[in-house]
Amino acid sequence: MAVDELQAIIERCQILEEADFRGEDYDLFQVAGQKCLEDGYAAQLLEVIQNVKNKVIIKNMGWNLISPLVRCILAYKKEDEKREHCLKILDQLVQLCNPKELFLGLLEQIEQTSGEQVCQTIMLLLQPLQTVLLKLQNKKAYSVGLSLAIIMNQLTPLPVPYTKQQIQEDKLGLCQCCNAVVDFAKPFVNEVVKNMENSSEFNDTELKEELLKFCMKSLKYPLLTAQLDQLEGIEEHPFRHLAAEIIVSALMPLVFLHHKSRRSYWENQEFEDIEQKNSADSLACLSYLVFVQHFEFVFFVQLQDLVKVMTLCPIEHLRKKSLSILQLFIDKFEAEGKYTLFRCLLKTSNHAGVEGYIIKNIKDQIHLSLMKAHDNIWFTGHHLISLLDLVLLLPEGAETDLLQNSDRIMASLNLLRYLVIKDCESDNQTGVWTALAKIEKNFLKPLHVGLNMSKAHYEAEIKNKKENGRGFSNTICSLTVSGEKMPAMTTEMQLQVLHSALFTFDLIESVLARVEELIEVKVKAVMDENI
């Protein structure tokens, strides 16, 4: 029996040191494990892998099971219990195996797949591959670039759905897969952007360049030949969504938000040459998206400069003027353009005041959408929920600096209060009631914890200050404005700052309590109706 054979191999390897494992042991483990999977003993194999005593064995040998494991997962029907066991085995391998070996095993499997199983295999392995890549310490840029290149090479031969029926059927899964690959790349884009923001001398350009190459390839395939007109009956056009994600989530942050030179977007001559030789189709597609399909891209670049004036300019009347200009820009866009613009600014402005202002604009658009005369899909339903995912959350969870983010938090709470009041649970036009559990988990509960922590900290600082001997009171506070050093803060001034912070926390807490009260009343009313 396959399970007995595997158990015999396991027992023999358990008494060996890791360095004493031989090539024969790896082969026997792979053959026995594969036989277990093929004979339907996935549950028993899962038990072996989950056994703590076998941790070292699985770390070294487990990656050999990727190929037979993927074959079995694709062969089983979704409702089959054996498929669930196989998926759990895959998850365990991702957690336990050596990342470098598992990375090669996953890529090999993607590279070897063909035909109708290409998208299925990629979709299955994207999350495990992303997890492994995030674990890698060395050669991450090379590994991410290699992964994206192999994935795109596998997808490129597939025909791009063009007609409405083909897009809806998505027979090979290409529409879904392409969008999933962009999601796969997002953590690495975020890593690059964060490093560029935190360092004035950003030197690690390899990962940035690999991601830019992926963006250029995506513009060429599938977007260059894709049908990008809005089609009646398709609420969320997969290729329009893909184009927006490529532009807003990748190209915008990687290139235009942090460009150092207007001459070239690449950081070295080699990649500049690649851009000149191979990107004509990609740039043609980008031009088409901007000037024909009206993906408002050029405006975004100008808006980033405008945001810098709003937040960094020392001259007050220029800051106010730039805010007025921003609103004029916003008003120029139609609903889809506003939606894309808001997503972009929420992701890239990195300023609580700007984010608060955008959230107020989102509230205004929702209000117009709830009026029958201005009904549109972009600020109701699943589109709005996707936008609210960026709004109703704390960037660092309970440890977010609530004082620094107070403008954003108050705007978010006021938006949520508006949604709860205006949208009945029975109608649920905005979708907020469907997303309530997620909102509570990502926003309301962490905000409670953060408020308690912040208030306790500031109250302790006030007590220490009044006792005039510990903590904050011994800190020398200085402030520089426009290069001019301001006078040091007196004790009274420091106490005023601390009390002002507490007042801000009390204000946030009162609005939070009101929001939760409204939610409770609405939920209770619906429950009473159903009794």
Q: Give the up-direction half-sphere exposure of residue 264: CA atoms within 13 A in the CB hemisphere.
A: 12
Give the number of other Cβ atoms within 10 Å of residue 244's Cβ.
20
Average pLDDT over residues 80-99: 94
Average pLDDT over residues 422-442: 90
What is the pLDDT, as a whole number, of residue 463? 86
The answer, yes or no, to whether residue 296 has pLDDT greater than 80, is no
DSSP for 83-107, please give it: HHHHHHHHHHHHHHS-HHHHHHHHH
Helix (H) or strand (E) holding 118: helix 118-135
Cα separation, 222 vs 158, in Å, equals 9
In terms of phi and psi (left: phi > 0; alpha: psi -120 to 50; beta: otherwise), the region of 431 is left
What is the pLDDT, as a whole number, of residue 252? 65
In 3D space, the residue among 92, 83, 87 whose CA is nearest the CA of residue 54 turns out to be 92
Query: Counting Cβ atoms within 10 Å, is residue 200 exposed (0-12), middle (13-18) or buried (19+)?
Result: exposed
The answer, yes or no, to whether residue 271 has pLDDT greater than 50, is no
Residue identified by tokens 């042991």 is: 25
Q: Percentage of residues in the chain with pLDDT exceeding 70?
A: 86
Q: Percentage of residues in the chain with pLDDT exceeding 90?
A: 43
Sign of CA dihedral 52, 53, 56, 57: negative
The answer, yes or no, to whether residue 59 has pLDDT greater than 70, is yes
What is the pLDDT, as a whole number, of residue 345? 87
Q: Which residues pair with 481 in a beta bridge?
A: 484
What is the pLDDT, as a whole number, of residue 263? 41
Query: Counting Cβ atoms within 10 Å, is residue 102 exposed (0-12), middle (13-18) or buried (19+)?
Result: buried
Average pLDDT over residues 173-177: 94
What is the pLDDT, as a whole number, of residue 258? 45
Which SS3 state, helix, strand or coil, does residue 484 take?
strand
The answer, yes or no, to whether residue 272 has pLDDT greater than 80, is no
Q: How confident is the model at residue 190 (pLDDT cuts 50, 70, 90)?
A: confident
What is the pLDDT, as a whole number, of residue 473? 44
The answer, yes or no, to whether residue 197 has pLDDT greater than 80, is no
Phi first, then psi, for residue 100 (nearest 5°) are -65, -45
Cα separation, 442 vs 435, in Å, equals 11
Q: Which two tokens mark 238? A: 């997969």
Average pLDDT over residues 69-84: 92
Q: Name the least confident of 229-233, 345-349, 374-378, 419-423.
A: 374-378
Per-residue pLDDT tens digits for 450-482: 999 999 999 888 888 887 754 444 445 555 554
What is the pLDDT, as a whole number, of residue 301? 61
What is the pLDDT, as a whole number, of residue 262? 38
In 3D space, the residue among 19, 89, 99 whose CA is nearest the CA of residue 49 turns out to be 89
What is the pLDDT, as a whole number, of residue 235? 74
Q: Where are the domains of the chain?
A: 142-256+270-295, 350-465+487-530
Residue identified by tokens 């979704």 is: 78
Which one has a higher pLDDT value, 199 or 15? 15
Q: How confident is the model at residue 267 (pLDDT cuts 50, 70, 90)?
A: very low
Per-residue pLDDT tens digits for 238-261: 998 888 888 766 776 676 544 443
What is the pLDDT, as a whole number, of residue 265? 44
Per-residue pLDDT tens digits for 327-347: 988 887 888 888 888 988 888
Q: Name the least confident of 10-14, 263-267, 396-400, 487-491.
A: 263-267
Helix (H) or strand (E) holding 480: strand 479-481
Q: Which two tokens mark 282? A: 């990609």
Rg (alpha carbons) of the chain, rounded to whole number: 27
Q: Name the least confident of 49-53, 106-110, 329-333.
A: 329-333
Residues 342-352 as b/e (b if ≥16 CB within 10 A, e otherwise) read bbbbbbbbebb
Which residues are within 8 A (CB) of 374 and not within 5 positions of it... i.e. 6 or more apart? 368
What 8-state DSSP symbol labels residue 170? -
The answer, yes or no, to whether residue 100 has pLDDT greater than 70, is yes
The answer, yes or no, to whether residue 217 has pLDDT greater than 50, is yes
- Round the average pLDDT of the chain to a whole number and report it: 84
Average pLDDT over residues 509-524: 92
Cα separation, 112 vs 293, in Å, equals 37
Helices (H), 260-297: 269-278, 280-291
Q: Name the least confident of 34-43, 405-414, 504-513.
A: 34-43
| CB contact at 8 A, 49 and 58 | yes
Per-residue pLDDT tens digits for 379-406: 998 889 999 999 999 988 999 999 999 9
The CA–CA distances, whole Å, from 114 to 172, 183, 220 equal 11, 22, 21
Q: How confident is the model at residue 288 (pLDDT cuts 50, 70, 90)?
A: confident
The answer, yes or no, to whether residue 196 has pLDDT greater than 80, is no
Global confidence as pTM: 0.61
Average pLDDT over residues 305-317: 84
